[in-house]
């Protein structure tokens, strides 16, 4: 027996990213990777191997795609919910979870309702501690018919629906467009001339909507945290606001078409129909689109994302994560050397998300910190201009020392 065989010569040190497990031959390449990856506790994560993914779509690929990791995909099949991809250690808890996670499709409102209904559901509830801390969310959806402007086809808002977090209808109306309708798109909208004859004028509708959304706050002087104003949830809500001729502050908007983890891996939006089927488990928009069903689905998606349990217990960590984000685009050699001397774990510790995670909506005490650094946004990329307008967040002493070890100039 050849007992003193030499070890294989191909063994080289690999530098492995603590979050996504990518490996690099050179440490400097790992540092460069960390500076653009924006890994954070908010990223979707494999329950088996703990790998961080950019989006839920890439996590699904990792677990069930053609190139899925074998071990993870086996664990997924036995221990994970196929909708939310959360991991459970026992069959009992998985079964119990699935009953909660799988929701029935909401009953459609139909097209036979009265032209305008203002339900006046009291959702201000300022005496309730939870509501006082976190703004209440409402979901909005419009149905659009076709019109024309300067010979070009345009969308006209013909129907609006607004619901609260508990899926109660707050406001529903048909809308009389300002210009003649050229195409009712009946197969999709179910709307006819008859629905719009006595409908509310567009101006009145947007006025009423803004009243509900601002909820007593002054439009011109909205407090940074939004005060009593409501979070507006929707899918591609920019389009709805456009046809309603309304503005609403970006920081109070939660758009399921723009929320990074729900987008395609190449950062293109998914349709609400796809998201509802994939993450809620039922079909919508198979015939006439129902604004109530769409509202409920978008609200359910928002709440699922808001209820994600990301480990933010270490407030310090979320603050430390700002360091990498605040790195200048070009590093001098000394700064680079300091980053290179850090372990992969330490590099991950100072890496920070570049979008606002919705889990922060349920964590008012952390929200302030997050918004100071991330600026406004509906889950999309961070606007630097906005975050620069806000003062530096005070750092706890132990982090200060960590960060003074790395002096960014």
CA distances from 80 to 21, 74, 85, 288, 404 (A): 21, 10, 5, 34, 42
Q: Does 72 bind Zn ion (CB under 5 A)?
A: yes
The DSSP code sequence of 287-350 is: SS--HHHHHHHHHHHHHHHHT-------HHHHHHTHHHHT--SS--HHHHHHHHTS-HHHHHHT
Query: Binding residue for Zn ion (CB under 5 A) from 30, 31, 59, 84?
Result: 84
CA distances from 233 to 84, 136, 242, 243, 366 (A): 20, 10, 15, 16, 21
Q: Does 75 bind Zn ion (CB under 5 A)?
A: no
Q: Does 46 bind Zn ion (CB under 5 A)?
A: yes
Q: Does 101 bind Zn ion (CB under 5 A)?
A: yes
409 SS3 class:
coil
Query: Binding residue for Zn ion (CB under 5 A) from 37, 43, 297, 321?
Result: 37
CA distances from 76 to 69, 89, 94, 248, 304 (A): 10, 11, 11, 41, 19
CB-nearer residue toward Zn ion: 2 or 345? 345
Query: Binding residue for Zn ion (CB under 5 A) from 53, 296, 357, 374?
Result: 357
Point out which span in 73-81, 140-148, 268-276, 286-294 binds Zn ion (CB under 5 A).
73-81
Q: Does 359 bind Zn ion (CB under 5 A)?
A: yes
Distance, in Å, from the CA atom of 133 to the CA atom of 242, rounded to the nearest integer, reads 30
Helix (H) or strand (E) holding 388: helix 384-388
Which 8-state DSSP code applies to residue 396?
A: P
Q: Does 338 bind Zn ion (CB under 5 A)?
A: no
Point out which span in 51-59, 270-278, 377-385, 392-400 binds Zn ion (CB under 5 A).
51-59
153 SS3 class:
strand
Question: 40 exposed, middle or buried (CB, 10 Å; 0-12, 13-18, 19+)?
Answer: buried
Q: Does 42 bind Zn ion (CB under 5 A)?
A: yes
Q: Does 374 bind Zn ion (CB under 5 A)?
A: no
Q: Does 262 bind Zn ion (CB under 5 A)?
A: no
Distance, in Å, from the CA atom of 64 to the CA atom of 68, rounded to the nearest integer, reads 6
Query: Binding residue for Zn ion (CB under 5 A) from 53, 59, 81, 257?
Result: 81
Query: Binding residue for Zn ion (CB under 5 A) from 310, 317, 338, 367?
Result: 310
Q: Does 59 bind Zn ion (CB under 5 A)?
A: no
Distance, in Å, from the CA atom of 256 to the CA atom of 275, rounded to the nearest integer, reads 9
Q: Does 145 bind Zn ion (CB under 5 A)?
A: no
Point out which span in 140-148, 211-219, 269-277, 309-317 binds Zn ion (CB under 5 A).
309-317
Q: Does 137 bind Zn ion (CB under 5 A)?
A: no
Shortest Å, Cβ 390 to Zn ion:
20
Give the footprint of Zn ion on this chain (CB under 5 A).
17, 19-20, 22, 37, 42, 46, 48-49, 51, 72, 81, 83-84, 101, 310, 357, 359
């Amino acid at each position: 027996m050849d007992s003193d065989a030499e070890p294989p010569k191909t063994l080289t040190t690999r530098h492995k990213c603590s979050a996504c497990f990518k490996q690099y031959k050179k440490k400097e390449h790992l540092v460069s990777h960390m500076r653009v990856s924006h890994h954070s506790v908010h990223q979707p994560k494999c329950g088996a191997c703990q790998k961080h993914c950019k989006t839920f779509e890439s996590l699904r690929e990792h677990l069930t795609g053609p190139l899925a990791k074998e071990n993870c995909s086996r664990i997924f099949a036995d221990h994970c919910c196929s909708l939310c991809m959360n991991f459970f250690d026992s069959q009992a808890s998985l079964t119990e979870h699935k009953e909660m996670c799988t929701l029935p499709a909401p009953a459609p409102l139909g097209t036979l309702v009265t032209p305008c209904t203002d339900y006046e559901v009291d959702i201000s509830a300022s005496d309730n501690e939870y509501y006082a801390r976190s703004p209440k969310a409402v979901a909005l959806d419009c149905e659009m018919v076709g019109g024309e402007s300067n010979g070009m086809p345009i969308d006209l808002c013909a129907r609006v629906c607004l619901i609260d977090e508990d899926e109660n209808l707050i406001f529903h109306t048909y809308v009389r467009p300002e210009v003649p309708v050229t195409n009712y798109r009946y197969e999709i909208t179910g709307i006819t001339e008859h629905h719009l004859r006595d409908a509310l004028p567009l101006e009145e509708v947007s006025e009423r909507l803004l009243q509900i959304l601002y909820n007593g706050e002054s439009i011109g002087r909205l407090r940074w945290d939004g005060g009593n104003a409501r979070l507006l949830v929707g899918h591609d809500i920019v389009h709805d606001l456009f046809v309603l001729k309304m503005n609403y502050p970006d920081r109070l908007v939660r758009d399921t078409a723009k929320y990074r983890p729900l987008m395609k891996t190449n950062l293109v939006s998914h349709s609400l129909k796809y998201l509802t089927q994939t993450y809620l488990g039922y079909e919508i928009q198979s015939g006439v689109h129902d604004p109530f069903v769409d509202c409920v689905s978008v609200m359910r998606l928002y709440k699922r994302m808001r209820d994600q349990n990301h480990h933010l217990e270490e407030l310090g960590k979320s603050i430390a994560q700002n360091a990498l984000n605040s790195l200048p685009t070009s590093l001098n050699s000394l700064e680079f050397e300091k980053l290179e001397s850090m372990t992969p774990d330490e590099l991950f510790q100072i890496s920070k998300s570049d979008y606002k995670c919705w889990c922060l909506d349920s964590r008012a005490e952390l929200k302030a910190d997050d918004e100071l650094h991330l600026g406004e946004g509906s889950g999309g990329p961070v606007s630097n201009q906005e975050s620069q307008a806000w003062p530096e967040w005070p750092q706890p002493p132990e982090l200060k020392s960590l960060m003074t070890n790395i002096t960014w100039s």
